[in-house]
Amino acid sequence: MSRRGSILHTRTHWLLLGLALLCSLVFMYLLQCAPQTDGNAPLPGFVGDNYGKEYYQALLQEQEEHYQTRATSLKRQIAQLKQELQEMNEKMRSLQEKKNSGANGVGYQASKDQAPGDLLEFLHSQIDKAEVSIGAKLPSEYGVIPFESFTLMKVFQLEMGLTRHPEEKPVRKDKRDELVEVIEAGLEVINNPDEDDEQEDEEGPLGEKLMFNENDFIEGYYRTEKDKGTQYELFFKKADLMEYRHVTLFRPFGPLMKVKSEMIDIARSIINIIVPLAGRTEAFAQFMQNFRDVCIHQDKRIHLTVVYFGKEGLSQVKSILESVTSESNFHNYTLVSLNEEFNRGRGLNVGARAWDKGEVLMFFCDVDIYFSAEFLNSCRLNSEPGKKVFYPVVFSLYNPAIVYANQDSPPPVEQQLVHKKDSGFWRDFGFGMTCQYRSDFLAIGGFDMEVKGWGGEDVHLYRKYLHGDLIVLRTPVPGLFHLWHEKHCADELTPEQYRMCIQSKAMNEASHSLLGMMVFREEIERHLHKQAYRTNSEALV
């Protein structure tokens, strides 16, 4: 068969396949939009609960919005398929005309400038060129395209734009539709796997096929390479199972295409949390309170390594660790004592090498960090030895004395952990909190010991990973907080380090609006005094 005949045969095959998909989607759309026939089905809730009219109206409105969103998604997919079929017909017509002209004696030869003959091949080439399966070598941290994370209800974003909200419900309809479509596509991949997917069919408790739904969606990440497309990383999990389902999707400025689907078992994945410390025993006691609640009582797959610098305060640290041991029967910790000046990079290097049990996932953490059990699972899911390191963006809390100045005293720490623009900010310039495997850390050479004092060593390590072949996943995560504390910038720092320290100190105090209220406090008080005087004068008249 000639090349032109083969191409025509391929086009006919794709046309028939597209028509079949179009009919299927139309049928699904009709099913989704059909009204329910079971008029006796009870409304959600427990029998005997007294719900008001407003409750049922809100419930009906929520259901209506859900079906409208689903219908809109199906309409969009149908329109997209129609457009693709029309383009396919035009290409087939063009090929037929060229074939006929060749049969009439007019020669036809393929040109190198010709558009790709196979649309599917072109879309796959977009995936191959994108940073999906392998990391790209980047010149600096400014070349990184960060991910933004999302759940079923919220998006955690770095580039806030006009809204200026680090956490929000998607306001734009196209963004809501996009995320709904992505989650639905991920569920389709999991529930109807291909032969090449790295997962096995599982059965439910009654022997039926295990099916996932949107309530099993845990979290997702997405980012866009502007000349290639958008990458989506989705994680699903059944409440009674330990395994997670991970689906990678890519939109090469066209239809969504599956990159891979795999099962991730983190049931036995231990995290070695390494904390460098000097003094600050009160902060360490607060850290261990959070550690006890999250790591000992909830996660239970943690080893703690504390690298302590100096002698002063060492006995208090030992006492705190022994107290936790006696109360919780927790013995999975290592205390390393270094009688030298504090150096964070040095402490983390020593802590990483103190582990002598082979490969392990490490979380480099500071004593003023609050993390949740969900974050620990994110740490496990987004790190892979020889493949991927995780650099979460921390949400840094402002000075509670300023944020809660209108209250008698700041609320407990647990109540301060909210993602609001006046309570904190995404610390997108910080690279200290990171999850990576020990083998990757040692292979890249660890921290640069020439860097002294505050800051700098984290950026050096981050850049080393960027210069290598590992995928660097950077995204804001909702379960990681930097608690406010007084920051001191030492005179011994270099001018560059001192500038970075002062900049960080200024950004840590309060939001722009709250700082503005403090700066113009006297002006505001004068205005209030004038208003009160004017009101009293008018009352006397």
Per-residue model confidence (pLDDT) at position 69: 72
Has residue 202 got a pLDDT over 70?
Answer: no
- In this structure, are residues 45 and 51 in contact, taking their beta carbons and an 8 Å threshold? yes
Has residue 108 got a pLDDT over 50?
Answer: no
- Tell me which residue has tokens 């722009």: 512
Decide: helix, strand or coil at residue 409.
coil
Q: How many Cα atoms are found within 13 Å in the side-chain-facing hemisphere of 507?
A: 15
Instruction: For residues 458-465, give the mean pLDDT.
Output: 93
Instruction: Convert 456-470 into a string of H (helix), E (strand) and C (coil).
Output: CHHHHHHHHHHHCCC
Burial class (CB in 10 A: 0-12, 13-18, 19+), 261: buried
Q: Which two tokens stand for residue 263?
A: 């099962």
Domain 271-487: which topology? Spore Coat Polysaccharide Biosynthesis Protein SpsA; Chain A (3.90.550)
Tens digit of each residue's pLDDT (9 = 90 or more) over 32-90: 554 444 434 443 343 444 556 666 677 777 777 777 777 777 777 787 777 777 777 77
Per-residue model confidence (pLDDT) at position 12: 59
Using CA atoms, how far apart are residues 526 and 504, in angstroms rounded to an integer?
A: 32
Q: Which two tokens stand for residue 84?
A: 């693709």
Decide: helix, strand or coil at residue 262.
strand
Burial class (CB in 10 A: 0-12, 13-18, 19+), 334: middle
Q: Please give the share of the chain, as a percent, with pLDDT higher than 90.
A: 47
**Residue 269, CA distances (Å) to 76, 308, 362, 378, 427 in order:** 41, 26, 11, 12, 28
Q: Which two tokens stand for residue 438?
A: 């020990």
Instruction: For residues 361-388, give the mean pLDDT.
Output: 97
Per-residue model confidence (pLDDT) at position 448: 84
Has residue 109 got a pLDDT over 50?
Answer: no
The length of the chain in residues reads 541
Residue 145 vs residue 312, higher pLDDT: 312
Domain ranges of the chain: 141-194+210-264, 271-487
Residue 97 vs residue 440, higher pLDDT: 440
Instruction: For residues 297-314, give the mean pLDDT.
Output: 97
Instruction: For residues 469-489, give the mean pLDDT.
Output: 92
**Residue 444, CA distances (Å) to 131, 200, 360, 389, 415 in order:** 20, 35, 16, 12, 40
Decide: helix, strand or coil at residue 309.
strand
Per-residue model confidence (pLDDT) at position 167: 81
Has residue 275 got a pLDDT over 90?
Answer: yes
Predicted model pTM: 0.67
DSSP 141: G
Identify the H or E element spanning 307.
strand 302-309
Instruction: For residues 370-396, give the mean pLDDT.
Output: 97
Tens digit of each residue's pLDDT (9 = 90 or more) over 207-249: 678 899 999 999 999 999 888 899 999 999 999 898 999 999 9
Using CA atoms, how far apart are residues 199 and 505, in angstroms rounded to an integer?
A: 48
Residue 206 vs residue 253, higher pLDDT: 253
Per-residue model confidence (pLDDT) at position 190: 94
Per-residue model confidence (pLDDT) at position 114: 42
Per-residue model confidence (pLDDT) at position 255: 73
Residue 440: which of 383, 356, 394, 377 has the closest Cα?
383
